[in-house]
Structure 1
Amino acid sequence: MRFKDVFSIIGPAMTGPSSSHTAGAVKLGRIARQWLGELPTEAKMILYGSFAETYQGHGTDLALLSGLMNMATDDPRIPDAEEWAEKLGMDYEIVTSGLPATHPNTVKFELKAGENTCTLMGASIGGGSVVVSHLNDFRVQLTGDFPALVLRHTDKSGVIASVTSIISESGVNIGFMQVDRKAREGEALTAMEMDTIPCTDVLTRLIQLPHILDIKVIDLKKGAD
């Protein structure tokens, strides 16, 4: 694996026994929370591989819950995540799956808050690092290491060009971009990791573009609760 930084070796500041099973799980929960855009009232978490086999001993279930409540990886409330979820009125379910996954430490979130629903699949790949592979069943590759802009839009000619033009004019650099679609001229999703998130005025211009359905900002540098 390519060396990223010293924290890839020593792991992040965290509450819990394992950077993969706890710190990474918290990060995945926080990304899922930001993808939904609010605290879920209902959460189903499907665990695969090592997550499914050892989640209770490593506190992975508590870590995933804590992330959904926007706690940091070193939050002292993580061991009491179940009690906090009850206080906040979040119903949750942990399910294990014997199906294979691309990585042993994989989880799929199915989240709901009123009429707002979303899904996210991702894996904790070691040292507190994560990779999100699917958002609402669209293929992506987000790490959470950089701010990300995720746009749902109709698959129409010129949409991506208009989006990248506005972002370029704002001076924000796009480090990575991936586009996936369900069908020609159907719903599509574009995920972009950036050096910084564009300002509110730029986001407003983007949401007003033809064929843009929704925009979400995913940025773990935003303060945890």
Structure 2
Amino acid sequence: MTVFIAGASGATGKLLVDQLLSMGHQVRALVRETATLPDSWETNPQLTLIHGSISEMSPQVLAPYLQGCQGIASCLGHNLTLKGVYGKPRKLVTEALRSLCAAVRILPPEHPMRFVLMNTAGSRNANLRESLSAGEKLLIGLIRHLLPPHTDNEQAAEYLRAEIGAGDPQIEWVVVRPDSLVDHSEVTAYQAFPSPTRSALFNPGKTSRINVGNFMARLLVENELWEQWKGQMPVLYNQS
């Protein structure tokens, strides 16, 4: 399988690349010009590095990179700096998602393209009417006002849920919602649930980045797992 990864030079994106390579798949990795990359990537014949910024790439530019791919993954996120949080592009994830989906339409693929979006347990799946307490609603409202990246994540997930939707002939999708991210060196036991089993604000769980990378890779390449979760927004937790 050949997979295109946006945000491949990020903390989770690198782990997703490594997971797919270790499974024997081909990867086309979009990385920042200034990114520090593992030495092994430069000589790996399974890996094609694409240097650039997705916010500066039109669907017409992206489409050739997607030609021959069966899957797309986005691990894009905002840098946790003043410029990254409050600077442009304020809708980095949503705009990149729109561009990638438009690029898929340009191809178009012979079979539906699998699209996996890394998001956050703080986003809600409106299809399941996931409820919030009064305190959570108040705090989420403040977060939306004060932290634009959270709104970007919500809008990106909503774009796939509401605008691409179910039954699209060219794009199938899964939104992966990890809780508080932590760093582990190896894949450990984890569980995926249709909805949060705890409050992401007041009682968050932990999800290691490498487990996120493993789950996203497996979604892309394992047909049974894909059929289980396509069109859904699984919440991922490390297993206690």
TM-score, length-scaled by structure 2: 0.33
Per residue, is there more strand in 1 or in 2? 1
